[in-house]
Amino acid sequence: MKISVIGTGYLGATHAACMAELGFDVVGVDVDPAKVDQLNSGVVPFFEPDLEPLLRKHVETDRLRFTTSLVEAAAFADVHFVCVGTPQQKGRLAADTSYVEAVVEGLAPHLRPGALVVGKSTVPVGTAAALRETLLRLSPAPDVELAWNPEFLREGFAVADTLRPDRLVIGTSSTYVEEQLRTVYAHALADGCPLIVTSLETAELVKSAANSFLATKISFINAMAEICEATGADVVQLADAIGHDVRIGRRFLGAGLGFGGGCLPKDIRAFQARANELGLTKSVAFLGDVDDINVRRRARTVSLAHEVLGGRISDRKVAVLGAAFKPNSDDVRDSPALDVADQLHLRGAEVVVYDPAATGTARRRSPQLTYASRLEEAYDCADLVMVLTEWSEFLALDPAAVAGKVRARNVIDGRNALDPVTWRAAGWHYRGLGRP
């Protein structure tokens, strides 16, 4: 079985390399020739742990190659995974599905008989059925099919999540398609990974529901953080206490700056837009609150900085540690850390940002900020140190050593990831979010 993977972002590049690792011959497709050249020379154009060695290994053995040609991919492969982006439309809540549509329209006329197109991109419910109609209308080849196979990988763990998924969902009504995908995922299935075969609509909704649930869980604990701040309670202890209830669980109850990235924020917005189109204006209206709570955490962090600096932000040096939306990633899409840095800069602070991997992507998004190439350079003579992405490098900081370098011992822990006891013992004025 030969495989093509269309779109080579975090999802597609990882999927392509992992399919090669599982023994398939793979061609990856992207519209950007520079990216294709990089990938063909074994270089991953973004930061994702463990991906580059895997990619290089399979590019070197010729099991994996990249091209800009959809026609070439159509001639080569039996199964085509669609992994292109579905970003938020400008000025609207809805997702832009035009890239997914363009891929299906581009592939369809050139497909081989019996070819299977498998969508992995996150799309509004109803998209896959429309794409299937397009495919059957435009493809002259007999027996082509379209299925939906949502992806649940996390950035930073993309390779492990792809090779060892915690569940597989396949939207199809065809037993032939199910058999084909059972072959693709034989390795995970042999390891006991659960497989749920659904309709196209259920498969699409599983993904929207999963990301909405995760976002809601984070905003729930951040709403509790707001209450804790007003009452002197401690949200971390609260999360520990409720998290022991196995029905609730402690994961994704990390209170702090909230969620960002290319998935959770846009997916909850797209879900609301789709529900509204369906006339279900109330069903997921609560996701509007989830979004609001999330965005309020950023404003709260800026006002906390204001407070800690005694009401005067301008010309004070603020060390912002972290620009990526989460650790082990260079992704700054909708990054809470970078938003806070931008806001402080706008208020006149001298902001110096340090991130172990995301300086390049952050500089492209926020060129007005100053970027340090070393961690020490960022906090040197700072009036305030803010940990806004919980990279392990920041968690390992020795508060006594840092204390000797700063102008004032003020630290804001935007991720409740530092140990307040050791920082306070070293003379720091420590503030977390939702903590007394």
Report the interface residues with ligand UGA, using CB under 6 A.
122, 151-155, 211, 214, 218, 252-254, 256, 258-261, 263-264, 325-326
Q: For the chain, what's the residue count?
A: 436
> In this complex, which beta carbon is closest to ligand UGA, that of residue 267 or of residue 350?
267
CB of 217 to ligand UGA, least distance (A): 7
> In this complex, which beta carbon is closest to ligand UGA, that of residue 67 or of residue 88?
88
**Residue entry with tokens 């429309």:** 130
Residues 6+ apart with CB under 8 A from 6: 12, 28, 29, 30, 70, 73, 80, 81, 82, 83, 84, 103, 107
> In this complex, which beta carbon is closest to ligand UGA, that of residue 122 or of residue 359?
122
CB of 72 to ligand UGA, least distance (A): 27
Q: What is the DSSP string of 57-74?
A: HHHHTTSEEEES-HHHHH
**Which is the catalytic residue, given 18, 193, 263, 381?**
263
**For residue 235, what is the enclosing H or E element?**
helix 235-243
Is residue 263 annotated as part of the catalytic site, yes or no? Answer: yes
SS3 state of residue 40 = helix
Beta bridge partners of 198: 171
Residue nearest to ligand UGA (CB): 254
> In this complex, which beta carbon is closest to ligand UGA, that of residue 144 or of residue 253?
253
Are 354 and 375 in contact by the 8 Å Cβ rule? The answer is yes
Question: What is the distance between the alpha carbons of residues 266 and 303, in angstroms, rounded to a whole number?
Answer: 25
> In this complex, which beta carbon is closest to ligand UGA, that of residue 67 or of residue 329?
329
For 99-115, b/e burial (b = at least 16 CB within 10 A) is: bbbebbebbbebbeeeb
CB of 426 to ligand UGA, least distance (A): 26
CB of 416 to ligand UGA, least distance (A): 9
CB of 315 to ligand UGA, least distance (A): 30
Are 331 and 324 in contact by the 8 Å Cβ rule? The answer is yes
* Residues catalogued as catalytic: 263
